[in-house]
Structure 1
């Protein structure tokens, strides 16, 4: 019996010095990857359009379009492609800014050492495969985890699904890109995953919580962030889980962030979370009707929630 061969991951090397391309091709030959090369940014973009590229390794100093500009274009065309920059001189500030913006996964200094390049590409491929695994099959696992957490608190059954549905509608109204909306869906499912560490007698209390119990339950964003970080989920998902109880006026937790310093993805999930929580029956109160909930949310404008976001949410709820 024969089995189909697994499709090899493609790694694209971009450099206007063809000697580097020749050496790189030889270095990675026989290592279980498909090696692609391009001697210009335009040639690289054509290859990106024609192939699924796992990792792109680009020189920065090239005639025409610089490497940093090329990687920004690749991010638009192929968001999952992991980007590595090769440069002869990059300041720490430039490197950190590029990495933090998501434009660059790693920097390799030129002239590079064989070990540094091999390590960077290996780590890039690992990152790409984790992302692809998440997209292909782990959604079931993430959704199952959210449902397992809800079993601890019977009154929240279906909460994570409803939060995800509303958060995605709000994201669409705000023009959030598709790849970010996918992370918002995961973050919505998992925003309360830290509650797995909260005792059930606190979650299901039919009374006001004591100050000590409030302290315990306020730990769940940090506990949840630790869970998703260890699962190698994206920075966006981590921030949603960590910051979904922050408030626009800075009186939330755990970090006391305010206004625009709260990531927009976390603000979106927070708004959806509040809306669904208001309309749910809880052990200590009946759920509000939708008109009542909308009035309460409007009263939170400028305190719990960004006024602009509240306006968008009202339009979504009206449709």
Structure 2
């Protein structure tokens, strides 16, 4: 349904509205079509409705853990590039994320704005390079 070969749709999930605002602020102006959610079930609905290129999900949320959401995202959008973000150091999750089982990259809060922009840019390049016609 996309007219062009590239997809710039970014889904962000974090239960903290201020964190979402900050992520959107850092990433706006980069040409991304950003959809931000505080509730996992709303984000899952989006996964079922539109093709997503990159997903950023918080690990620690009250309704659903980030790795559970990312597993659902993988089932619904297997080509989407997944990025986990967390303010807590969960070594087992970080190991799984770095091994590519739950996510392609793992970032910690507070994040470095330049690193975040770079990681998201690389994620879109990775996603769009696998896009086939």
Give the TM-score range, shorter chain. Answer: 0.7 to 0.9
Give the match for residue 95 of structure 1.
Answer: 94
Unaligned runs of 5+ in 2: none
Q: Cα RMSD between the aligned structures? A: 1.8
Deviation at 1:126, TM superposition (A): 1.2
The whole-number CA distance in structure 1 between the counterparts of 2:7 and 2:72 is: 24
SS at structure 2 position matched to 1:37 = strand
| Partner SS state of residue 53, structure 2 | strand
Counterparts of 1:55 and 1:47, CA distance in 2: 13
Question: Post-superposition shift, 1:90?
Answer: 2.9
CA contact (8 A) 2:11 2:35 kept: yes
- Following TM superposition, by how much is the alpha carbon of 1:89 offset from its aligned partner in structure 2, in angstroms? 2.4
Q: Which has the higher contact order (CA 8 A, sep 6+)?
A: 2
Larger helix proportion, structure 1 or 2? 1
In the alignment, which residue of structure 2 is the partner of 1:12?
11
The count of residues paired between Structure 1 and Structure 2 equals 130
Whether the 8 Å contact between 2:13 and 2:37 is mirrored in structure 1 is: yes
Relative to the length of structure 1, the TM-score reads 0.38
Partner of 1:62: 61
Q: Match of 2:46? A: 47
Q: Compared with structure 1, are the counterparts of its residues 63 and 92 closer, same or farther at alpha carbon in structure 2 (3 Å cutoff)? A: closer
Give the TM-score, by structure 2 length.
0.88
Cα distance in 1, alignment partners of residues 81 and 7 from structure 2? 16
Contact persistence 2:7–2:53 (CA under 8 A): no
Cα distance, 1:26 vs structure 2: 2.2
Inter-partner Cα distance in structure 2 for 1:10 and 1:109: 22
- The answer (yes or no) to whether the contact 1:55–1:121 under 8 Å persists in 2 is yes
Greater percentage in strand: 2
Is 2:10–2:53's contact at 8 Å kept on the other side of the alignment? yes
Conserved in 2, the CA contact under 8 Å of 1:8 and 1:32?
Answer: no
What does residue range 1-319 of structure 1 map to in structure 2 within 5 Å? 6=4, 8-132=7-131, 135-136=132-133
Check conservation: 1:58, 1:84, Cα contact below 8 A: yes
Asked if structure 1 preserves the Cα contact closer than 8 Å seen for 2:87 and 2:109, the reply is yes
